[in-house]
Amino acid sequence: QVQLVQSGGGLVQPGESLRLSCVTYGFIFSRYDMGWYRQAPGKERELVAYIDNIGGEPTYADSVKGRFTISRDNAENAVSLQMNSLKLEDTAVYYCNAVVGIRTAWVRPWFSAWGQGTQVTVSS
């Protein structure tokens, strides 16, 4: 049974940093490309970053490029998202998932189970 357990969110002020973590269970983590998504209130879930199965090809949405860094630890079955210089518009629930299609124009989530997510609130 696939489980995706996100943590590390919180309430921060603009300009501050957070590090999110996603520990995974139930699949062979090292075989899957991984991504971080977020969903703000009233908006659709969007992909903000992804990384290939061996930690290469990190790719970012334009809105977070230069501020966020995705990384993974295959020994720990975990993927992280370092978020620096946070902005008000980064406020959302953040989720991880395996992704497919990173070498195409259509990167999409693999698993239907998303986990509970972790809330990031940026507020002054």
Instruction: Report residue 13's pLDDT band, with 50, 70 and 90 as the boundaries.
Output: very high
CA angle 89, 104, 19 (to 5 degrees): 35
CA angle 91, 69, 76 (to 5 degrees): 105
Query: Residue holding tokens 């009233």?
Result: 42
Residues 24-76: tens digit of each pLDDT: 999 999 999 999 999 999 999 999 999 999 998 899 999 999 999 999 999 99
Phi, psi torsion values for 113, nearest 5 degrees: -85, 125
- At residue 87, the pLDDT reads 98
Of 19, 3, 17, the residue nearest 77 (C-alpha): 3
- At residue 105, the pLDDT reads 84
Instruction: Please tell me the distance from the alpha carbon of residue 74 to that of residue 62, in angstroms, as a whole number.
Output: 26
- Assess whether pLDDT exceeds 90 at residue 104: no
* Structural contact between residues 79 and 34, judged by C-beta atoms closer than 8 angstroms: yes
